[in-house]
Structure 1
Amino acid sequence: MRTVTFGMNISLDGYCDHNLFSPDEEVMEYFTSTMDGVDLYFFGRVMYELMFPYWDDVAKDQSGSPSENEFARRFSAIDRVVVSRSLEVNDPKARVIRSNPVEELSKLKQQPGKNISVDSVSMLPDFIAAGLIDEFKLVVHPGLAGNGRLLLPPGSLTEKLDLKLTEKIHFKSGSVALHYVKQ
């Protein structure tokens, strides 16, 4: 069975809008390392549109910093599933599903392959409730956002989920990478 990991940037007050953060070289290298062993990304429409075609373009023209270029090269090479009722994509690495993301992720988890990385805040409560998320890799940034999208809205979980911290990395920027697994 494949391992499903949820990864996200987050502020100290629990907000996870990617536009709030500007990861430095060290944090970008960390995110690149999280792709080791991943052969599939599972996106919601919003996150997919935030990430693509931006990172594909950086991979093609090498327009970022050295760490951004390496992230883009590796990130763009990984297959992806996108959940959307309306999005049409012209992306040879992407497959769009229109409904039942919990059922689809459950099927993918049972198939042979490497790890699956989930990058969708909107579907996270449903994935947690279905027991599909095995690991959480959060990078906590040293700042308070005060608004935006919360990682988990109040009342979105029906049961408490106990996690075990397996790794903690401190970055010079003050950000901290936290790796948790289900107990």
Structure 2
Amino acid sequence: MRKLIYGMNLTLDGYVAAAGDDIEWSGPPSPELFQWWLDHEQASGLSLYGRKLWETMSSYWPTGDQQPGATPAEIEFARNWRDTPKVVFSSTIDKVGWNARLVTGDAIAEITRLKDGDGAPMTIGGATLAAAAMRAGLIDEYVIAAHPVLVGGGTPFFTALDGWVNLSLLETRTFPGGVVVTRYETKR
């Protein structure tokens, strides 16, 4: 069975985006944090995206390695992003590119099917898609990159759940700028 990992940058008060889908609060990551995310992504065998995150990622990373001033890590991230298979879950778009396939039907059924297979861990991104997987009990690991900013509202990282989910701490690491990454594993 494949592991499903949900990880994103978020504010200290728990939002992946401020009101109006504003993510300017995160600013550019430090080189150390960017490298950590690159290593995290390189360990993944499949990336699952909701529509909004797909649109954000696919608007930049297909050519991110060709941007003026791209660092070696950004060049590697762009290459890895293009090469990693992706599944995009959306009922409002009709095509995807860049080594991705589109799923317009039951996201939970497809994620469950993918988890039941063999292979490297899968990452899931996009708060709405991850919330559905969280409510279905499909998330095996949570990666929280908490930035030292409070935005007071927006899109939450966590969703309302019907019951408790007990977690075990796997890692805590501090990065320049006061960003703290924590990884938790779901206790089953």
TM over 0.5: yes
Say yes or no: does 1:135 pair with 2:138: no
Q: Choose which of 8, 22, 26 in structure 1 pairs with 2:32.
A: 26
Q: Which has the higher helix share?
A: 2
For residues 92 and 65 of structure 1, do their structure 2 counterparts lie closer, same or farther at Cα, with a shift above 3 Å needed? closer
**Stretch moving more, 42-51 or 61-70:** 61-70
**Stretch moving more, 76-85 or 63-72:** 63-72
1:92 deviation in Å? 4.3
Alignment of 1:7-156 (within 5 A): 7-17=7-17, 18-22=23-27, 23-59=29-65, 61-63=66-68, 64-153=70-159, 156=160
Say yes or no: does 1:175 pair with 2:179: yes
Aligned mates of 1:70, 1:99 — CA distance in 2: 33
Structure 2 spans left out of the alignment, 5+ residues = 18-22
SS in 1 for 2:178: coil
Look up the equivalent residue of 2:48 and give its one-letter code.
F
Look up the equivalent residue of 2:10 and give its one-letter code.
I
Any runs of at least 4 consecutive aligned residues in structure 1 with deviations exceeding 4 A, and if so which? none
Look up the equivalent residue of 2:134 and give its one-letter code.
I
SS in 2 for 1:123: helix
Aligned mates of 1:140, 1:109 — CA distance in 2: 27
Q: Aligned Cα RMSD in Å? A: 1.5
Q: Choose which of 164, 168, 186 in structure 2 pairs with 1:164.
A: 168
Aligned mates of 1:9, 1:118 — CA distance in 2: 13
SS in 1 for 2:156: coil
- TM-score where L is the length of structure 2: 0.89
Aligned mates of 1:163, 1:36 — CA distance in 2: 24
- TM-score where L is the length of structure 1: 0.91
SS in 2 for 1:67: helix
Number of residue pairs aligned between Structure 1 and Structure 2:
180
Asked if 1 retains the 8 angstrom alpha-carbon contact of 2:49 and 2:129, the reply is no
1:160 deviation in Å? 1.3
